[in-house]
């Protein structure tokens, strides 16, 4: 049996990885207008492109949207989608209406990430058994981008209150492409400590110990979970 390799991240490097994960936020209220330099943008896009993908399919494309009149049209569409708000009632509806759910105009850059579900790169490896894996791969790329952006002090906001057919129309995206995410990106005045939705009283973070199972679904041992998670489960 081979022996375990020597750790190749220093304690400081490890701490930085966990810090970037913990301090990443979805940003919509705190963007400033300063442009993202190309060198920085290049780094975060490359981080996205280094994501894992099923069969090394790399099903993604990135559309960089700076044009203000296009962003104004996307913003007007997002506003009309939000104004529907008709899925909620009473206090929840009032709270929903008070939420800011996008920063399309405030962020200097928007990024639309698509998934090409028929791309032949990777020869279909891993997709025969689960056809969703191309979409999961694209989501991995987005998370890589999000974390790299945080390390560069760039905020990202994911906007999903959009009708993708309308977005495809506005961005001339071929009908057969699947939009996975529409992101707002830019430097921020500050990163908030907590998710905006938590501060607004919309939802709270669930304890991981409630979500752990041992060997089989029915085994949810809180003591064992607490022993693993210690003080991290906050
Ligand atoms: C797939 C996905 C779609 C999302 N769509 C929206 C959205 O339309 N508007 C919004 O304000 N936030 C959106 N978010 C951000 C979440 O609200 C946010 O991640 C969550 O509240 C936790 O906050 P945090 O990212 O700051 O930790 C989305 C996040 C994901 C992963």
28 lines ligand 1 (CB under 6 A): yes
Closest CA to 116 of 55, 180, 46, 182: 180
User: Cβ contacts of residue 83 below 8 Å, gap of 6+?
Assistant: none
Task: Pick the atom of ligand 1 nearest to 159's CA.
Answer: 8
203 Cα: distance to centroid of ligand 1 (angstroms): 12
64 Cα: distance to centroid of ligand 1 (angstroms): 20
Structure tokens given for 63: 């559309």
Secondary-structure percent of the chain, ordered helix, strand, coil, rounded to 5:
45, 15, 45
Distance, CA of 166 to CA of 157 (rounded, Å) = 19
160 lines ligand 1 (CB under 6 A): yes
Residue 234 has pLDDT above 70, yes or no: no
Q: Whose CA is nearest to atom 14 of ligand 1?
A: 158
Question: Can you list the pairs that 3-7 forms with residues at least 24 positions away whose Cβ atoms lie under 8 Å?
Answer: none
222 Cα: distance to centroid of ligand 1 (angstroms): 29
Tens-digit pLDDT profile for residues 171-225: 999 999 999 999 999 999 999 999 999 999 999 999 999 999 999 999 999 899 9
30 neighbors 186 (Cβ within 8 angstroms): no
Kindly report whether the global pTM for this prediction surpasses the value 0.75. Answer: yes
Given pLDDT bands bounded at 50, 70 and 90, which one contains residue 150?
A: very high
């Amino acid at each position: 049996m081979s022996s375990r390799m020597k750790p190749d991240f220093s304690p400081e490097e490890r701490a930085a990885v966990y810090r970037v994960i913990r301090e990443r936020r979805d940003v919509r209220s705190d963007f400033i207008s300063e442009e993202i330099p190309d060198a920085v943008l290049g780094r975060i896009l490359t981080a996205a492109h280094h994501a894992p993908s099923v069969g090394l399919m790399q099903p993604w494309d990135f559309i960089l949207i700076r044009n203000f009149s296009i962003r104004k049209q996307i913003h007007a569409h997002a506003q009309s989608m939000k104004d529907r708000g008709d899925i909620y009632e009473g206090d929840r509806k009032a709270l929903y209406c008070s939420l800011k759910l996008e920063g399309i105009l405030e962020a200097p850059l928007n990024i639309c990430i698509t998934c090409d579900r028929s791309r032949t790169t990777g020869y279909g490896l891993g997709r025969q058994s689960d056809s969703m894996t191309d979409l999961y791969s694209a989501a991995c790329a987005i998370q890589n981008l999000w974390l790299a952006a945080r390390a560069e002090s760039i905020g990202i906001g994911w906007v999903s209150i959009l009708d993708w057919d309308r977005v495809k129309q506005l961005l001339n995206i071929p009908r057969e492409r699947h939009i996975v995410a529409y992101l707002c990106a830019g430097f921020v005045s500050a990163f908030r400590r907590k998710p905006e939705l938590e501060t607004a009283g919309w939802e709270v973070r669930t304890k991981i110990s409630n979500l752990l199972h041992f060997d089989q679904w029915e085994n949810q041992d809180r003591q064992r979970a607490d022993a693993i998670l210690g003080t991290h489960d906050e």
